Amino acid sequence: MNGGSGLNILYVDILDAMHIPWSELHPVSSPFHGVIPGMQAYPLGKIDQPIMFGNCTNFCSDVLTFDVVDFLGSYHAISGRSCYTKFMAIPNYTYLKLKMLGPNGIITVGSTFSHAYTCDHKHYELATAIINSTKLPELRNSVTPTVPDRNR
pLDDT in tens, 29-83: 887 766 665 667 788 999 999 999 999 999 999 999 999 988 777 677 888 888 8
Cα–Cα dist 57/83, whole Å: 21
15: exposed, middle or buried (Cβ count in 10 Å: 0-12, 13-18, 19+): buried
**What amino acid occupies position 7?**
L
pLDDT in tens, 99-123: 999 999 999 998 888 877 887 787 7
Alpha carbon 45 to its chain centroid, in Å, reads 15
What pLDDT, on the 0 to 100 scale, is given for residue 129?
74
- pLDDT value at position 75? 72
Considering all CA atoms of the chain, what is the largest pairwise distance in Å, rounded to the nearest integer? 84
Domains along the chain with CATH numbers: 9-140 (2.40.70)
- Whole-prediction pTM: 0.70
Half-sphere exposure of 98 (CA within 13 A, CB side): 18
pLDDT of residue 146: 56
Q: What pLDDT shows up at residue 137?
A: 65
Least confident residue range of 22-26, 40-44, 86-90: 40-44
DSSP 3-68: TT-S--EEEHHHHHHTT--GGGPBP----EEEEETTEEE--SEEEEEEEEEEETTEEEEEEEEEEE
Position with higher pLDDT, 1 vs 98: 98
Res 151: pLDDT: 63
Q: What is the pLDDT of residue 113?
A: 82
